[in-house]
Amino acid sequence: MKITVFGSGYVGLVTGACLAEVGNQVLCMDVDQRKIDQLKQGIIPIYEPGLDEMVKDNVAAGRLSFTTDVKEAVDFGLFQFIAVGTPPDEDGSADLKYVLAVAKSIAEHMSDYKIVVDKSTVPVGTADKVKQAIKDVLAERSQELEFDVVSNPEFLKEGSALDDFMKPDRIIIGTDNPRTAELLKALYAPFNRSRERVITMDIRSAELTKYAANAMLATKISFMNELANLAERLGADIENVRHGIGSDSRIGYSFIYPGCGYGGSCFPKDVKALERTARDYGYQAELLSAVENVNDRQKHRLFEKVSTHYPNGVKGKTFALWGLAFKPNTDDMREAPSRVLLEALIDAGATVRAYDPEAMEEAHRIYGDKAGLVYCAKQADTLSDVDALIIVTEWKQFRSPDFDDLSRLLKDKVIFDGRNMYEPRLVKQFGLQYYAIGR
């Protein structure tokens, strides 16, 4: 099949590459000329394990191509995927200007039947707005052309997006047209061979499903962080509690790891957007407000622990910081807890020696030559002439450090662990003080 994908960011590029991988012809369109030029040269603008090889292989095979020409993109595909950003507006709602701009562009250039697929995470009712935008432009052109608008939300986890797309848990198709549902089923047939993964429903239910999934996962994280803060006050160990409740099949172990807060491009934005949608429809979603409030507070917990340990302040202190990305296996620092901590430490007069396996370039882009921030090329470089170590992202390479070395190199012999990576009794055997979350 011929497929056009508008947007060559995280969702668009993964979607385009995976659809090409199973034999389709895919054209990715983006207004950013520099990004398109880089993609044509095989330079991938984001870090996602395996994505660079998949893109290069499918470009070489002639199944995946890139353009900045809107008319070429609209003419190309029966399926017109919209995978552009929906950044949070000032009031927390999702900004649909890019989505609606694409819809209008499709309408301006289409000459035959198109299936417009909302892949971006969008509020309930967006498909209606996309449909109306297309109708309005077609009316201005005095054209009567058939089209359908479909909600097909993505469920991609950064760091395992290719597996999530190629071996999905579910494929949600929201449409009011049975014929269109069959066409989408045919498109996704290669990803649906071992068992039935396609779930069809009405459009508004599909739009809500995406927000509901992210809000549920965010709720589990905030709930565990709330319990972790209580465990510290009660003298309990939240890791024991986690094992105890995770063994209940009704709860499970996924997303019940306490820490220093969630970040990324999805959870913070989507929880706020869903809460805003509820308000727009006259409903006060108190739980959603609490989930986000708990998470905002949790991002300050590490700095609070550092401040408690240093009652005279951290001015003049130097900290090794392991982890900048909001989670492992990505270079994404959007809404990352590391940013809250790093900025608080530097504002308080401390120096931060930071390292992340993938996010160093992104940190440079965000902070430039920020005073008080030292970019370290290697993990070991962070430990040069430092007072304490702080861990923010649970990269695998941080799991088994040489505690003898840490005890020798850390002047104040203290570790602040925002991801509960170590066993407290083990760390203390090396003469190190250890602060974790809920322990």
Contacts of 170 (CB under 8 A, 6+ apart): 155, 197, 198, 199
CB of 322 within 8 A of CB of 395? Answer: yes
Beta-carbon count within 10 A of 239 CB:
19
Structure tokens at 87: 């950044």
Structure tokens at 375: 């970019």
Q: Which of 18, 260, 266, 376 is catalytic?
A: 266
Structure tokens at 332: 């994404």
Residue with tokens 């840490």: 406
Structure tokens at 381: 């470089």
**Which conformational region is residue 323 in: left (phi greater than 0), alpha (psi within -120 to 50 degrees), or beta?**
left
Give the DSSP per-residue string, 178-206: HHHHHHHHHHTGGG-SSS--EEEE-HHHH
CB of 187 within 8 A of CB of 39? Answer: no
CB of 346 within 8 A of CB of 336? Answer: no
Which residues face 28 on adjacent strands? 5, 66
Q: Is 260 a catalytic residue?
A: no
Q: What does DSSP say about strands 79-82 and 114-118: parallel, antiparallel, or unpaired?
A: parallel
Nearest to 366 by CA among 391, 340, 384, 398: 340
H or E stretch covering 388: strand 388-391
Distance CA(122)–CA(82), nearest Å, equals: 11
Structure tokens at 294: 């708990």
Distance CA(13)–CA(302), nearest Å, equals: 35
Say which amino acid occupies 234: L
CB of 353 within 8 A of CB of 386? Answer: yes
Using N-to-C axis directions, what is the helix angle for 203-234 and 126-140, rounded to 10°?
Answer: 140
Contacts of 421 (CB under 8 A, 6+ apart): 391, 394, 398, 399
| Local structure of residue 95 (DSSP, 8 states) | P
Kindly list the catalytic residues: 266
